[in-house]
Structure 1
Amino acid sequence: MKITGYTDENFQQAFEGQPYTVMINPDTIKWQRGIDYNEQQAPNTSTPSQKYKSTPVEKLNFDITIDCTGVVDSKRTDLAKEISTLENIVYTYHGKIHRPNFVKVQWGKSLVFKGVLKSMDISYTLFKPDGSPLRAKLSLGFTQYISPEDEEQLKGNESPDITHLVSVVEGNTLPQLCQKTWNDNSYYIQVAQYNNLNKFRNLKGGQKLIFPPIIQPE
């Protein structure tokens, strides 16, 4: 596993020096993903429907062991140096960018995670007779980072955060047009209010309606 620092949010400008190569690959990796929903009670129904709200950022958590006894790697026996090198990549505040680095965690070809460090816990587990640590377990937690440019691309043109100009075809209703535009028909009241409409059905063919950015409830 390699951990690389980047000084830009697009992960193009690598931080000075080499990526940190983990001495012993983690036994397990926890990659968290989730979806948030608004529970909305539809008329004449007994159970709420799950309306999509947002997709939270992903999280990556794993433990690594740094063993400086010389058994794992006879050239890497300075535990303080190992931890300092890793900290400089993922944790240390850098004045040039006014923040810690952006980080890419990569293990093989299939596991690539781009984010920022959220937590770093160090447990020292083996010591020399004089008390100097020889081995440490590091628990690392990363949160996904998506640049503003990438976030706009992910939203796409069907996002309710974008203004749309919609041409009405004879027989269209506002719920139908909301469903077609946003894949969600629940915004028809906001659209009607914005366009000063008093009828949701039997719209006039050929008229133009503005579908404004929608403020979603928290």
Structure 2
Amino acid sequence: MTTPIAAAGQAVAQARLEIVRPRIADERQRRIPLRFNPTDYKVSKSNTFAEIGIPGLETPPLQYVRGGSEELSLEALVDTSDTLEDVRERYVDRLRSLMTPDSREHAPPIVRFVWGRSVFTGVVAKLDITYQLFLPDGVPLRAKLDLGLKEYRSAAAQAQDPPRSSPTVEKSYQVRAGDTLTSIAAALYRRPDAWRELARANGITDPREVRPGRILTVPRLR
């Protein structure tokens, strides 16, 4: 186990951004270093729920709709006061380019924030720049960066995740426009053929007659 004192004698890990896609062979072009490591960073995630309006209830039940993208935010300082270079040319412009659509991908690059063992893959969704130190002619030498990344995961990778809806727990589901018993069974059970269980549990004789807004009992599968 590495103690804080022992770690102090080791090389300091340098925080950086790496371009994951499009593929870039030249490592110097692929890596975008930060001049100083951030003092902290924040990772946040939110879920979206819909309130089910049932007359007579003071607090409406909540229906899980979907998960939100994880987000990483941090503040970083870049500085060229030792070399008197334009900090925009040395650091800022490369970070700003991460918000410009790439001609090959037709979208901004996918990047990875790396700092020691911490890795976050996403796209740069926000970049606020505050210039703080200048030469007499106005050339900026220092900039504070407020950087925000949104998580990126391909649809193929998410399809490999285990089902998030447990078929062994009874619950309810509010029908939305475009839903069918087959699509609901596929989403909740990962088994389209389980629509018969839904129909039987809710007394549905005609599976085509499932109107939006109806609350279905979702039985557990045995």
Displacement after TM superposition at 1:29 (Å)? 1.6
C-alpha separation in 1, matches of 2:160 and 2:124: 24
Cα distance 1:101–1:192, how it changes in 2: closer, same or farther (>3 A)?
farther
- Counterpart residue type for residue 97 of structure 1: E
1:81 to 57, 65, 90: 90
Equivalent pair of 1:4/1:14 in contact (CA under 8 Å): no
C-alpha separation in 2, matches of 1:78 and 1:113: 29
- Counterpart residue type for residue 16 of structure 2: K
C-alpha separation in 1, matches of 2:73 and 2:205: 46
1:56 and 2:83 correspond: no
2:37 to 25, 47, 63: 25
Residue 139 (structure 1) aligns with: 146
**TM superposition score normalised by structure 2:** 0.64
Residue 160 (structure 1) aligns with: 187
SS of alignment partner, residue 165 of structure 1: helix
Cα distance 1:193–1:52, how it changes in 2: closer, same or farther (>3 A)?
farther
Mind listing any 5+ residue stretches in structure 1 that lack a counterpart? 176-187, 202-218
RMSD of the TM alignment (CA)? 3.4
Cα distance 1:174–1:37, how it changes in 2: closer, same or farther (>3 A)?
farther
Displacement after TM superposition at 1:41 (Å)? 4.5
Cα distance 1:147–1:14, how it changes in 2: closer, same or farther (>3 A)?
farther
Q: Map of 1:91-170 to 2, 5 A cutoff? A: 91-109=99-117, 111-154=118-161, 156=163, 158=165, 160=187, 164-166=192-194
Residue 20 (structure 2) aligns with: 6
Displacement after TM superposition at 1:30 (Å)? 2.3
- Counterpart residue type for residue 95 of structure 1: S
Q: Map of 1:174-189 to 2, 5 A cutoff? A: 174-175=200-201, 188=202
Displacement after TM superposition at 1:86 (Å)? 2.7
C-alpha separation in 1, matches of 2:200 and 2:70: 35
Cα distance 1:150–1:61, how it changes in 2: closer, same or farther (>3 A)?
same
SS of alignment partner, residue 193 of structure 2: strand
Equivalent pair of 2:76/2:146 in contact (CA under 8 Å): yes
**TM superposition score normalised by structure 1:** 0.65
